[in-house]
Structure 1
Amino acid sequence: MIIGDLLPPPVVAVDFFGDPEDAVLLPEEEEHVAKAVDKRRREFTTGRHLARTALGRLGFGPVPLLPGEKRAPRWPEGVVGSITHCKGYRAAAVGRTSQVWTIGIDAEPNEPTPDGVLGAIAVPGELAHLPRLRATGDHVAWDRLLFSAKESVYKAWFPLTGLWLGFEDAEVIVDPDGTFTARVLIDAPVVDGVRVDGFTGRWLARDGFVVSAIAVPAR
């Protein structure tokens, strides 16, 4: 287990290195990926399989988890969650809305981002901070971790607000101690009486991956 080590007890997390042989889709989900290429189909199938496993541990029966707006999974009423997948690793995390306000998780290979990616995703404050991170050691692909943390921020943000958040719309500062903070740079909406202007999260590097996670307790 990687992702579970980053999340608090109210959140149920399940992960897998690769694709389990018993992972299957429900009929409604089959229709959604009927024309998908093999890579996309395997990612989708394992992600839904892990999410249903996690939901089962919360007491929910099998339900189809179809993509909604911006491809975010549509969870059963009373549930928040997040799914991530990269080559060799898949994970899902869910929680009850009575205990968790929002969840965002992301996993990436622990290797540098391709040429041009960092410049496309990082804001000036993040670029200025990266040399300090690199000075602590090369055991972490810090640019890839930044990308992962920003993905987790979006996955936590969108279900709450229903609004797009571009890479340039949030500044994420990663700390070598395994935490990160995110500050939203656009006009932040108020949700349930709370201004959604930032998040705190946790990260780790293990088994060839960098993984980030956000879980905000229910208000």
Structure 2
Amino acid sequence: MNLTPALPACCTALDSRWPLPTVLPGTVLLSTRFDPARLLADDFQRSAVVAPPSIQRSVAKRQAEFLAGRICARAALAQLDGTDTIPAIGEDRAPVWPAHICGSITHSTGHAAAIVANKQDWRGLGMDLENLLSHERAERLAGEILTPTEIQRMAAGSQDHLALLVTLTFSVKESLFKALYPIVQQRFYFEHAEVLEWTAAGQVRLRLLTDLSSEWRNGTELEAQFSVGDGQLLSLVSIAA
């Protein structure tokens, strides 16, 4: 019988509570809180996680977030179907999942999570966690993240929501990339998608603004969801099989 490796000193027990508005059947989502200041020299060994050279050379924050995300991913895979593996870092910097699995790993200040599913149920999953921007930073970054049409919509709406909207737009476009890139194998950027509408209940509608493949063409619409808590925004784009 395989024993579950010990959690590193820098991570809390894994949390299996679903944090978003709509539960996706057939998925496993696990999260943890981590503190880089509590990272010990033997945490990778204790957790049976091999640190790639790029991680070994990095600062404690990067090491802790990598370790926390991979621990969530390994446990999620084991819970899903008994798969015992840790996704490696691919040449494109994305996690390398088993061939029958789609998944996503994300982390932001002190918080990491992973979601996985069998490709028979879900073709693509993209999840992203971001710290909520301040109003001032959101104003500065809006031109880099939002399309001209999105900026027009934002200007016509309540300025009370500006920081949330810019953070949300950034996050769901990151989630969209994570969900679609493994399918289309083509890079795309913030200007290649737009948020059409969102609700306070956590639902988002997106539209592609470029052709990524014969299936994923300019004008294709997708759904996303998000939640806000503890000063962070979590978003998820899911593509059903």
Structure 1 residue 63, shift from structure 2 partner: 1.3
What residue number does 1:56 align with? 78
- Is 1:195 the counterpart of 2:216? The answer is yes
2:185 pairs, out of 145, 149, 162, with 162
Structure 1 residue 30, shift from structure 2 partner: 4.0
CA distance in structure 2 between the partners assigned to 1:168 and 1:156 by the alignment? 17
What residue number does 1:14 align with? 30
What residue number does 2:154 align with? 130
Paired AA for residue 191 in structure 2: E
1:185 pairs, out of 194, 200, 209, with 209
Moved more, 208-217 or 91-100: 208-217
RMSD of equivalent CA atoms: 2.5
Structure 1 contact 7–215 (Cα < 8 Å) conserved: no
Task: State the Cα deviation string for residues 126-185 of structure 1 (Å, max 9, x = none).
Answer: 1122245536x5597221111111111111111111100111111123412421122111
- Is 1:37 the counterpart of 2:59? The answer is yes
Moved more, 69-78 or 94-103: 69-78
Paired AA for residue 107 in structure 2: H
Q: TM-score, normalised by structure 1?
A: 0.86
Structure 2 contact 184–212 (Cα < 8 Å) conserved: no
CA distance in structure 2 between the partners assigned to 1:134 and 1:83 by the alignment? 32
Percent pairwise identity: 29
Task: State the Cα deviation string for residues 115-135 of structure 1 (Å, max 9, x = none).
Answer: 632211110111122245536
5+ unaligned residues in a row in structure 2: which ranges? 1-16
Structure 1 contact 6–203 (Cα < 8 Å) conserved: no
Moved more, 106-115 or 162-171: 106-115
What residue number does 2:173 align with? 150
Moved more, 144-153 or 171-180: 171-180
CA distance in structure 2 between the partners assigned to 1:143 and 1:209 by the alignment? 13
RCO comparison, higher one (Cα < 8 Å, 6+): 1
1:109 pairs, out of 120, 131, 136, with 131
SS for the counterpart of 1:157 is helix
Paired AA for residue 98 in structure 1: Q
SS for the counterpart of 1:210 is strand
2:113 pairs, out of 91, 112, 121, with 91
Paired AA for residue 201 in structure 1: A
Structure 1 residue 186, shift from structure 2 partner: 1.3
Distance change >3 Å, CA 88–CA 31, structure 1 → 2: same
Structure 1 residue 78, shift from structure 2 partner: 0.3
Structure 2 contact 77–85 (Cα < 8 Å) conserved: no
Question: Matched residue pairs, number?
Answer: 213
CA distance in structure 2 between the partners assigned to 1:125 and 1:60 by the alignment? 46
CA distance in structure 2 between the partners assigned to 1:206 and 1:102 by the alignment? 25
- Is 1:208 the counterpart of 2:222? The answer is no
5+ unaligned residues in a row in structure 1: which ranges? none
Q: TM-score, normalised by structure 2?
A: 0.78
CA distance in structure 2 between the partners assigned to 1:104 and 1:7 by the alignment? 14
What residue number does 1:119 align with? 143
